[in-house]
Amino acid sequence: MNFDPQTRRLVLGESLDAGVVAEAWSRLGTMSGAWKVEAASLIKVDGAGLAFLWVLGREEHVRISGLRPEILALLKPFASLPAHPAEEPDRRDSFFEQIGRVSWGIFQDVRDQIAFIGEFSVMALRCVAHPGLVRWRDMWVTAQKAGVDALVVAGMVSFLTGMIMAFQAAVPLRQFGVDIFVVNLVALALLRELGPIMTAVVLAGRSGSAFAAEIGTMTVNEEISALRTMGLDPMRFLVVPRVLAGFIVTPILTVYASFLGVAGGFLVMMTQGFPFAALWNQLVSAVGVTDLMTGFIKSFVFGILVAGVGCLRGLQTGHGATAVGESTTRAVVSAIFLIVVVDAVFAVIFYVLKW
C-alpha cells in the first residue's frame, strides 16, 4: 500500500487483509480533502479489507478507481448499510437514578425475603401436618452432602482454631500465672460463638452456594417454570428438603466442630505440660448448660438461614451463565451477613435472659 499525503493518492497493493488494514486504519482519520484511491492491483480482500474499503467509499471526498468486479460484488451486500450506526439510547443512569435503582433493589429484595419466609412457613406447616409431602429421599441426600461430606472441613477449621486460640492465649496468661484459664477462653468462645458461626460459614460456602447454583441453573433452564406448570410447588420440591437438611445437620455439625475445637485447645495445653484431668476439671467448672444451649439453639437458626438464603438466591436467578454466578455469590454474602446479624440479635437476647 502506497500512502502519499502530498498528492493525496492511496495506491492499494495486491492484498488488503487484517494485517494490512491494522496498519492502514489509523490513516483514515488523516485523509481530509479530495483523495484518489487506486485499487487496480487489489486481488484479495477479507472482512477487514471490506470494512476499510467501505469506510473509504462512505467519504464523499474520496474516489476509488479500478476495483475489480469480484471485489465490487463482495461490497454489494453492504450498499444499504447506513453510513453511521443509529444513535443508541444512553443506558447509563444518572446519579439519582442509580440511588433510586439501588434503593428499589434493596426494597424489592427485602420484600422477596419476607414473601419467601411467608411462603416457606406455610409450606413448612403443611409438611408438619402432612409429613408425606416432604421429599424425604432428597432431604437425606442433601443432608449427606451438606453434613457428612462437610465433616472433614468443618472439623479441621474448628480444631485448628481451638489450637491457635490456645497458643495465642497461653503466652499472655502465663505472665500472670493463670494459663489454666486458657481452657475457659477456648471453651466458652467456641461453644457460645465461634463453633456455631464457623460451622455456619463453612456451610454457607459449601452448601448455601451449591443450593443457589443448582436452583439457579434450574431457573435458567426453565426447569422451575416446568415444575410450576406441572402444578408442583418449587417450595415443596426444592426448598423444604434443603432447609430441613440444613436444620438437621447444622446443629450436629456445630456440636461436633465445637467439640473438636475444644479438643484442639486441650492438645496445645497438654503439650504445655497440663494433665488432662486438670483441664477437664477446669472445663467442667467453666462451662454451664446455658453455654452449651446458646450455641446449640443458634445453630438451628443458622442452618435454616444458610439453606433458605441459598434457595432464595437460586430462585431469584436472572438469565444466563453470569446470573448463576451472581446468585451463588449473593447466597454466600447474604448468608454470612445474616449469620452475623442474627448472632448479634441472639447476643442481646441471651444478655437479657442472663444466659
Partner 1 sequence: MVTESNIIEVQNLTAAYGDFVILDRISFDVHHGEIFVVLGGSGCGKSTLMKHLIGLVPPASGTILLDGQDITTAVGTEREDLIKKFGVMYQSGALFGSLTLEENVMLALEEFTHLPADARRMIARMKLFLVGLERFTRHYPSEVSGGMQKRAAIARAMALDPEVLFLDEPSAGLDPVTSAGLDELILNLNKNLGVTFVIVSHELASIYAVADRVIMLDSKSKGILAEGPPGDLRDKATDPAVHAFFHRESQEAAG
Residues within the interface to partner 1 (CB under 8 A): 18-19, 21-22, 25-26, 46-48, 50-52, 54-55, 73-74, 76-78, 81-82, 85-86, 88, 319-323
CB nearer to partner 1: pick between 60 and 88:
88
- Residue 241 CA to residue 62 CA, distance in Å, equals 71
User: Could you tell me the smallest distance in angstroms from the CB atom of residue 198 to partner 1?
Assistant: 34
CB nearer to partner 1: pick between 44 and 111:
44
- Residue 68 CA to residue 75 CA, distance in Å, equals 11
- Residue 270 CA to residue 293 CA, distance in Å, equals 27
Determine how β-strand 2-4 pairs with β-strand 15-16.
Answer: unpaired
CB nearer to partner 1: pick between 23 and 149:
23
User: Could you tell me the smallest distance in angstroms from the CB atom of residue 50 to partner 1?
Assistant: 7
Task: Pick the closest to residue 56 from 64, 47, 44, 45 (CA basis).
Answer: 64
On whether the CB atoms of residues 190 and 229 are closer than 8 A, the answer is no
Element housing 106 (H / E)? helix 95-129
On whether the CB atoms of residues 274 and 355 are closer than 8 A, the answer is no
Determine how β-strand 9-11 pairs with β-strand 2-4.
Answer: antiparallel
User: Could you tell me the smallest distance in angstroms from the CB atom of residue 62 to partner 1?
Assistant: 16
Task: Pick the closest to residue 295 from 337, 251, 264 (CA basis).
Answer: 251
CB nearer to partner 1: pick between 20 and 309:
20
User: Could you tell me the smallest distance in angstroms from the CB atom of residue 316 to partner 1?
Assistant: 16
Question: What is the amino acid identity at position 203?
Answer: L
CB nearer to partner 1: pick between 49 and 208:
49
User: Could you tell me the smallest distance in angstroms from the CB atom of residue 216 to partner 1?
Assistant: 13
User: Could you tell me the smallest distance in angstroms from the CB atom of residue 272 to partner 1?
Assistant: 54
CB nearer to partner 1: pick between 51 and 263:
51
User: Could you tell me the smallest distance in angstroms from the CB atom of residue 54 to partner 1?
Assistant: 7
Cell readout for 135 is 421429599
CB nearer to partner 1: pick between 5 and 19:
19
On whether the CB atoms of residues 332 and 204 are closer than 8 A, the answer is yes
